Structure 1
Amino acid sequence: MEEKKIHRAHVLIVPYPSQGHINPTFQFAKRLASKGLKITLAITNFIYKTKKPPQPSDSVQIDTISDGYDDGGFSEAESIDAYLQNMEVAGLKTLAELITKYKSSSNPIDCVVYDAFLYWALDVAKDMPSFIGVQGQYPAYFEMVLNQFSNADRADLVLVNTFYKLESQVS
């Protein structure tokens, strides 16, 4: 009798390209992987080449996208606005290419979890479930994200890093 191969859900996670976002996102990725999901963490080319990115493992693999500054990262940009604009243009293109690459693999991407600051990722992930990961640990930060990014209400789910004792006063 031939054994059927079970498809593991494949989650693509796209953190904002700074250590303060990548490290907690990698911990979240490992947690999801421990539940049996296949995880791909998409970091920028610059972070991958020059920083100490998380080491891929059997449970979490690393792939890359561009922020438009592949050789110098944020330090090449003349301003934060220029960096974010270039990252949106380059990120949209390379994130779409990454999803397409996996589409023809034996384990295509099933959903995308992206950092709230990368609101444009939703435009690429529009045909699959998409989740916003909010790094802040309190409701006011979440409200800022919803106010700042007009498409946050289009995501399938918003993930907020928090716990009950921190917000026991919030109903």
Structure 2
Amino acid sequence: MTTYKAHCLILPFPGQGHINPMLQFAKRLQSKRVKITIALTKFFLKNMKELPTSVSIEAISDGYDDGGRDQAGSFVAYVTRFKEVGSDTLSQLIQKLENCGCPVNCIVYDPFLPWAVEVAKNFRLVSAAFFTQNCAVDNIYYHVHKGVIKLPPTQNDEEILIPGFSSTIEASDVPSFVISPEAERILEMLANQFSNLDKVDWVLINSFHELEKEVIDWMSKIYPIKTIGPTIPSIYLDKRLHDDKEYGLSIFKPMTNECLNWLNHQPISSVVYVSFGSLAKLEGDQMEELAWGLKNSNNNFLWVVRSTEESKLPKDFLEVLTPNFGLIFSKFVTFKFYLFNSSK
């Protein structure tokens, strides 16, 4: 029987790109004899195509058990309801684990869900915020929160000086949520990641020091930052975790075999990989510009387009596309298979 040093409860935001890095971090903790429990929403669990066998999974509610974010109607409505219902169900889970003889010692949470800090404090638990993005992006949202960056930046602002950056950046280089007036409520949520960050014991960043030395050093003067990236399966990094080849948790059905078969028939270093994740939505004119840009680049490409975005593809573009030149997939493609394929 394994004797654990501690019990850590992991609370990710229910999105594939948020869960993957937190799961990889959890595997690292587990290798150090830390018991891991991951709390996922009921809707997310119902739609899982793959589940990890190495960690415990428990369900909480976001208030939308039947439809998740789509049922909420808007992103803001979703996170608002999640705060109300999630706080209660997370508290119930912590109490249940204690009653079962597996008390939680620490909560590692996604700062998209800042209310988790208050739950941790109520139970006198150690807490750590896990930022899934790099430190440069986190730093920009921090300065939006502090009012240092005026909103929205305009194209007339040729350069923006952000404390912690080694040089100025152009307004067009900041995240789109900062630039777009339509994203005001989402930006508010992103900035609010820092609303109670002074209460946490650690701030974990999915990056490594040498990649963003200046900005990490600057942020470390404000928060107790620990860099824990890159969070990818161990076999592609340091091979310290035996048989850690997969993320092992997915809401999508990966199209691994089809993609690998196509990639293996392409020349070495010839393929461009394009993906905007599971949340981003491009306008029709943006999709058209990207499509013809890929076509005119004369490079082979693998483009992941979600089924909900397929209607935005130019019809004449699909007509001229040949299988040997470009491949468009409407289902999930695991990035690591592309990254470690010689054709890329």
Q: Same fold (TM over 0.5)?
A: yes
Partner of 2:206: 161
Amino acid at match of 1:155: V
Asked whether the 8 Å contact 2:8–2:34 carries over to 1, the reply is yes
Which of residues 85, 101, 105 in structure 2 aligns to 1:106?
101
Provide the rounded CA distance (Å) in 2 between the counterparts of 1:9 and 1:93: 23
Amino acid at match of 1:41: I
Deviation at 1:119, TM superposition (A): 0.2
Equivalences for residues 108-127 of structure 1 within 5 A = 108-126=103-121, 127=124
Asked whether the 8 Å contact 1:136–1:142 carries over to 2, the reply is no
Which of residues 25, 29, 37 in structure 1 aligns to 2:26?
29
Provide the rounded CA distance (Å) in 2 between the counterparts of 1:17 and 1:145: 22
Partner of 2:196: 151
Provide the rounded CA distance (Å) in 1 between the counterparts of 2:8 and 2:77: 29
Aligned partner of residue 89 in structure 1, secondary structure: helix
Aligned partner of residue 24 in structure 2, secondary structure: helix
Partner of 2:127: 130
Deviation at 1:79, TM superposition (A): 1.0
1:81-113 residue CA offsets vs partner (Å, 9 max, x unmatched): 111111111100100000000111222101100
Asked whether the 8 Å contact 2:4–2:35 carries over to 1, the reply is no
Aligned partner of residue 51 in structure 1, secondary structure: coil
Provide the rounded CA distance (Å) in 2 between the counterparts of 1:40 and 1:67: 18
Provide the rounded CA distance (Å) in 2 between the counterparts of 1:94 and 1:56: 23
Number of equivalenced pairs: 165
Asked whether the 8 Å contact 1:135–1:161 carries over to 2, the reply is yes
Provide the rounded CA distance (Å) in 2 between the counterparts of 1:145 and 1:83: 22
Rg bigger for which structure? 2
Measured on the aligned residues, the alpha-carbon RMSD in Å equals 1.8
Provide the rounded CA distance (Å) in 2 between the counterparts of 1:132 and 1:92: 16
Aligned partner of residue 117 in structure 1, secondary structure: coil
TM-score, structure 2 length as denominator? Answer: 0.46
Amino acid at match of 2:211: L
Partner of 1:78: 73
Provide the rounded CA distance (Å) in 1 between the counterparts of 2:132 and 2:142: 10
Asked whether the 8 Å contact 1:115–1:132 carries over to 2, the reply is yes
Aligned partner of residue 112 in structure 1, secondary structure: strand
Alpha carbons of structure 1 residues 142 and 9: separation in structure 2 relative to 1, 3 Å: farther
Provide the rounded CA distance (Å) in 2 between the counterparts of 1:106 and 1:137: 37
Asked whether the 8 Å contact 1:41–1:61 carries over to 2, the reply is yes
TM-score, structure 1 length as denominator? Answer: 0.89
Aligned partner of residue 107 in structure 2, secondary structure: strand
Alpha carbons of structure 1 residues 8 and 15: separation in structure 2 relative to 1, 3 Å: same
Provide the rounded CA distance (Å) in 2 between the counterparts of 1:133 and 1:86: 21
Alpha carbons of structure 1 residues 75 and 9: separation in structure 2 relative to 1, 3 Å: same
Provide the rounded CA distance (Å) in 2 between the counterparts of 1:112 and 1:65: 14
Asked whether the 8 Å contact 2:63–2:81 carries over to 1, the reply is yes
Aligned partner of residue 112 in structure 2, secondary structure: helix
Aligned partner of residue 96 in structure 2, secondary structure: helix
Asked whether the 8 Å contact 1:23–1:54 carries over to 2, the reply is no
Aligned partner of residue 62 in structure 1, secondary structure: strand
Residue 41 of structure 1 pairs with residue 38 of structure 2:
yes
Asked whether the 8 Å contact 2:12–2:19 carries over to 1, the reply is yes
Identity %: 45
Q: Structure 1 or 2: larger strand share?
A: 1
- Return 5+ residue gaps in structure 1 as ranges: none
Deviation at 1:165, TM superposition (A): 2.6
Amino acid at match of 1:73: G
Alpha carbons of structure 1 residues 166 and 154: separation in structure 2 relative to 1, 3 Å: same
Which of residues 3, 6, 14 in structure 2 aligns to 1:9?
6
